[in-house]
Amino acid sequence: MKILVTGATGYIGKRLIPLLLNDGHTVVCAVRDKKRAQNYFRDRENVLLVAADFLDAESLENIPKDIDFAYYLIHSMSNSAKEFHILEEKCAFNFKRFAEKTSLKQVIYLSGITNDTKLSKHLLSRKNVEKALASDVYALTTFKAGIIVGSGSSSFEIIRDIVEKLPAMIAPKWLNTKTQPLGIRDVLSFLHRALNKKELFNTSYDVFGPEILTYKEMLLEFAAVRKLKRWILIVPVMTPKLSSYWLYFVTSTSYKLATSLVNSMGVEVIGNKSNINKILDVNPMTYREAVEFAFVKIKQNSIISSWKDSYISSGKLKSFVHEFINVPKHGCFKDFKKRKINNTEKLLNNIWAIGGETGWYYATFLWKIRGIVDQFFGGAGLRRGRRHPTELFAGDALDFWRVIYADKENGKLLLYAEMILPGEAWLEFKIEKGTVYQTATFRPHGLGGRLYWYAVMPFHWFVFNGMINNLNK
């Protein structure tokens, strides 16, 4: 069967596609940035990549019309656009209008539990998208999940940040909000097993784990798994804005995403019971089991996808990595270094392990200070780390950088800065004819950008000089 997956490079999409391929299906991946997606799926057979932006109805004509089934996994957690809900509904409308001209039998949509009478803007948008997707031409199957727990998921990583960084905390009252967390493995089971299940055509189900927990209980249970003792005092006086700042400074989320999460976390996420577990033979694991399973994946360095690699994790919403692949030459400042290579294999391994837990090879404390400054001004700082200790693909987040190009075989890595800057910055490593070239490029915005460059230039000389020397050891 030929299956269309929208949101193919997202957290859920990248985990679902291998399951479909293992069943022998042909998977059509509709992505906005085809060059980014090529890195993820280049070694996979039966994958067809098509460039499609669901806000642009004409671009959907790139998608084959002989598709049998589709997964609708397009979501936004950004509140940078005030009318984001209109954009989400437009995506759904464009998808529906295209899908009704194809041979589609079933669309499977992953939404959020929307049973509370007072919904956040994002949950209300999910509800409206479900209405927009409904059709008389194809069948719609909707699964509504609450908090998804898994290695790399936003909820898991945010809880991990809070628990592992704070022995004691004064927390906002939304920590008393009740929810029903669901493991990522069970989410994928529901999505996977619902395919071509005719009794699920034109139905909607809440899917959730076996426990009702408050966010406070989730934090304490997480701490127990990590064998950490934690104390939490909940105060009723934190405004949503203060709560957003609290979440932003403690965790690796951007402020914009923190605001969206705070607005949603005040809503109880309790699912309606049904027989869906029996129909699909899914026995959801407990929250503790989901956390333990996630850490098994982390220890095995087998995290397939992470929310930190989404464009919204920096709060800058850069849409296409290839837009920044051509480093500008005019009107820029550059710090250029080169060295004769001592050991090519070791050098490449060092470059591909840069950032995250490894650090930046020289004066890492200065990088940490720069990260704190970036965070203070609303940037991502160094909190995102990296998905994998030795793998890099175009589109990956790397501390406060974004990987624009990564070709280890030909010895080239290009990073684009997502820190708060009065300009734009690139960092490139390139190996040619026994020499490694390291180039930092900065394109200033106005006088402020030029003053910034001259202010940090002395630090750059020491940092970049020490970095290339240690990379090449």
Per-residue confidence (pLDDT) for residue 383, from 0 to 100: 72
**pLDDT single digits (tens) 6-45:** 988 888 888 898 899 989 999 999 888 776 666 666 667 7
Q: Are 385 and 355 in contact (CB under 8 A)?
A: yes
Q: Measure Cα distances from 130 to 93, 125, 182 in Å.
A: 10, 9, 20
107 falls within a domain: yes
Strand 333-340, strand 435-444: pairing: antiparallel
Paired with 14 in beta bridges are none
DSSP string for 273-337: P-SHHHHHT--PPPHHHHHHHHHHHHHTT-----GGGSGGGGTS----GGGGSS---SS-EEEEE
Per-residue confidence (pLDDT) for residue 113, from 0 to 100: 86
Asked whether residue 158 falls in the same domain as residue 223, the answer is yes
Task: Please tell me which residue, 95 or 171, carries the higher pLDDT value.
Answer: 95
Q: Are 284 and 182 in contact (CB under 8 A)?
A: yes
**pLDDT single digits (tens) 44-55:** 778 888 888 888
413 falls within a domain: yes
329 falls within a domain: yes
Asked whether residue 244 falls in the same domain as residue 343, the answer is no
CA 297, 302, 303: angle at the middle one, nearest 5?
A: 85
269 falls within a domain: yes
Enter the pTM of the model.
Answer: 0.70
315 falls within a domain: no
314 falls within a domain: no
On the question of pLDDT at 314 being above 60, the answer is no
SS3 category, 389 = coil
Asked whether residue 20 falls in the same domain as residue 134, the answer is yes
Range of the domain at 48: 2-309
Q: Using a pLDDT cut of 90, give the percent of the chain over it.
A: 35
Total domain count, the chain: 2
Beta-carbon contacts of 78 under 8 Å, excluding residues fewer than 6 positions away, are 84, 256, 257, 260, 312, 317
Asked whether residue 227 falls in the same domain as residue 85, the answer is yes
Average per-residue pLDDT for the chain: 83
Asked whether residue 303 falls in the same domain as residue 326, the answer is no
Whole-angstrom distance, CA of residue 456 vs CA of residue 473: 26
Least confident of 91-95, 98-102, 140-144, 324-328: 324-328
Q: Are 171 and 245 in contact (CB under 8 A)?
A: no
What the block records as the tokens of 34 is 């085809």
Asked whether residue 235 falls in the same domain as residue 370, the answer is no
Strand 178-179, strand 213-214: pairing: antiparallel
Task: Please tell me which residue, 251 or 280, carries the higher pLDDT value.
Answer: 280
Per-residue confidence (pLDDT) for residue 309, from 0 to 100: 47
SS3 category, 354 = coil
**pLDDT single digits (tens) 371-424:** 888 877 777 777 777 878 888 888 788 888 888 888 888 899 999 988 888 888
Whole-angstrom distance, CA of residue 5 vs CA of residue 105: 14
Q: How confident is the model at residue 308 (pLDDT cuts 50, 70, 90)?
A: very low
Per-residue confidence (pLDDT) for residue 84, from 0 to 100: 65
Nearest Cα residue to 32 out of 11, 58, 7: 7
**pLDDT single digits (tens) 268-284:** 788 899 999 999 999 99
SS3 category, 347 = helix
Domain of 86, CATH number, reads 3.40.50.720
Least confident of 225-239, 304-318, 352-366, 386-400: 304-318
Asked whether residue 257 falls in the same domain as residue 200, the answer is yes
What the block records as the tokens of 225 is 């798994």
Per-residue confidence (pLDDT) for residue 301, from 0 to 100: 54
What the block records as the tokens of 317 is 């919403």
Asked whether residue 35 falls in the same domain as residue 81, the answer is yes
Asked whether residue 277 falls in the same domain as residue 327, the answer is no
Last residue of a domain, one of 309, 344, 375: 309
Asked whether residue 39 falls in the same domain as residue 158, the answer is yes
